[in-house]
Amino acid sequence: MPLAFAADTETAIPLRVVAADKIDQVLNGLSESARAWVKVQGFSADLGEYITIPDDAGAIAQVLVGYGTPEKRARGRFHMAEVAQKLPKDTYRITEGLSGAALEEAALGWLLAGYSFDRYRKPASANAQLVAPDGIDADRLTIIANGEALTRDLINTPASDMGPDELENATRVLASEHGAAINVITGDDLIPANFPLIHTVGRASTRAPRLLDLRWGDAGPQLTLVGKGVCFDTGGLNIKPGSSMGLMKKDMGGAATVLGLAHMIMALGLRLRLRLLIPAVENSIAGNAFRPQDILTSRKGLTVEINNTDAEGRLVLADALTLSDEDDPDLVISMATLTGAARVAVGPDLSPFYTDDDAHADAIAKAARAVADPVWRMPFHDPYEPMIEPGVADLDNAPAGGMAGSITAALFLRRFVKSPYMHFDIYGWQPKPAPARPKGGVGMGARAVLEALPKLLKL
């Protein structure tokens, strides 16, 4: 079911958001009986606390929701989403206590709290519903929430039902929904089309590798999104241990994220030309799998020594990034679940991103704060360039030593694109339930990019 706000009705229950330092002011505005009720229940306006206040007939007349202190709020986000999952199942309207960005975050968080992945089970019961608050762009938030839901659905689907073919189908459905054009190059056709790395990584699977190429829009600056679509990653001949393979259905999280972002861009009708490139493969093991110490030639002509077949994501992205550069886009953004090193550096909640453009970095950072989609800038550190040069080939796909793994991967990708470029090394997975983010697949960085696009592309 699409995520949506509730229909506006006169019976929606008023919901008042109360910061800890405003509780006395709010209590003074209540009737004597309501004030007594709140006090006897011990409501203190702590973050996430709520109290229902009954009318004379015992029905809920209004709800007070604690908003706590600024210090407590700063330690998390989407606080209203947590309340949405606790409240009695009814329809509510936020009447006071929030405005501006805080109100937008509350409304979006409430929508996202309604997400549930129910493809393989009985649908979960619905949460409390929210009428779109006055003062927000409800249509925009609904589009953003459903773009995020698309990303989550794709990541959460197991590889048995989300291989390259199914990822192609999801892209075709999105193209059809928005009137976009799509071209797909599949299997051995990748060889004459000069996508050697995509073919090499995916050829050992019974599910043919492919390159998905979607185009939308005929005016404005061109934005090209490139998403890593490794639908399952065994590690290849450098096979992963079972403990590392358990979440590899999410290795197409970059593709899922750019698809969700593409939905947002197209549904909002932004004045730009969008291109979406997804190399969709499965990194499997067979007699024709690529091997350690192989030297491969990329679409760009750069040679790559394979020192670990489990560093395959940067290979398929290399060919796609080379293609992205060939029609001189105004900005290229890649998103990929690329390295474990990024998780060690910043954990699962932050989206590390790379850019050489300080203005672009500032735009992303400000946008991320505005829409509660946290990011952290990482450096394209030029002194590490020799680490990705093995001596026998132009590039090394897996430098020895284990240091600066996310940076060296980003430097590897940068070799394949000359256009203005930004790279996100995301995780795509929520390891523990959090407000508006159930355990499972999650979009990262997409909302920050969407918010920053007017500055990134001068829209």
Residue 53's pLDDT is what? 96
Is 314 annotated as catalytic? yes
Work out the number of other CB atoms within 10 angstroms of the CB of residue 393: 18
Work out the number of other CB atoms within 10 angstroms of the CB of residue 292: 15
Kindly state the average pLDDT of the residues 126-139: 94
Residue 112's pLDDT is what? 97
Q: pTM here?
A: 0.97
Rounded CA-CA distance 15/348 in Å is 32
Q: Which amino acid, 76?
A: G
CATH 3.40.710.10 fits 142-456, yes or no: no
Share of the chain above pLDDT 70, in %: 100
Residue 222's DSSP bridge partners are 273
> Residue 302 — φ and ψ, nearest 5°?
-70, 140
Instruction: Please report which confidence band the pLDDT of residue 127 belongs to, taking 50, 70 and 90 as the band edges.
Output: confident
The residue among 182, 373, 346 whose CA lies nearest residue 277 is 182
| Cα 174 off chain centre by | 17
The residue among 24, 25, 47, 26 whose CA lies nearest residue 102 is 47
Residue 401's pLDDT is what? 86
Residue 164's pLDDT is what? 98
For helices 138-156 and 164-178, the axis angle rounded to 10 degrees is 160
Residue 402's pLDDT is what? 84
Q: Nearest 5°: CA angle at 207, between 202 and 209?
A: 40
Residue 243's pLDDT is what? 93
pLDDT tens string 320-360: 999 999 999 999 999 999 999 999 999 999 999 999 999 99
Which residue out of 22, 35, 240, 455 is catalytically annotated?
A: 240
The residue among 121, 122, 136, 153 whose CA lies nearest residue 3 is 153
User: Mean pLDDT of all residues in the chain?
Assistant: 97
Pairing of strands 222-227, 295-297: unpaired
Q: Is the pLDDT of residue 1 over 80?
A: no
Residue 428's pLDDT is what? 98
Work out the number of other CB atoms within 10 angstroms of the CB of residue 370: 16
Contacts of 159 (CB under 8 A, 6+ apart): 231, 232, 248, 249, 282
Q: Is the pLDDT of residue 226 over 80?
A: yes
What is the dihedral sign for C-alpha 215, 217, 218, 224?
negative
The residue among 143, 271, 154, 142 whose CA lies nearest residue 216 is 271
| Cα 165 off chain centre by | 21
Residue 334's pLDDT is what? 98
Kindly state the average pLDDT of the residues 270-299: 98
Domain boundaries, the chain: 13-132, 142-456
Instruction: Please report which confidence band the pLDDT of residue 378 belongs to, taking 50, 70 and 90 as the band edges.
Output: very high
Locus of tokens 């599910």: 207
Pairing of strands 91-96, 210-216: unpaired
Is 240 annotated as catalytic? yes
Contacts of 345 (CB under 8 A, 6+ apart): 352, 378, 406
Instruction: Please report which confidence band the pLDDT of residue 151 belongs to, taking 50, 70 and 90 as the band edges.
Output: very high
Which residue out of 93, 273, 300, 314 is catalytically annotated?
A: 314
The conformation of residue 143, written as its DSSP 8-state character, comes to H
HEC sequence for 360-398: HHHHHHHHHHHCCCCEEEECCCHHHHHHHCCCCCCEECC
Q: Is the pLDDT of residue 91 over 80?
A: yes
Residue 8's pLDDT is what? 86
Q: Is the pLDDT of residue 150 over 90?
A: yes
What is the dihedral sign for C-alpha 346, 350, 355, 356?
negative
Please state which CATH number belongs to domain 13-132.
3.40.220.10
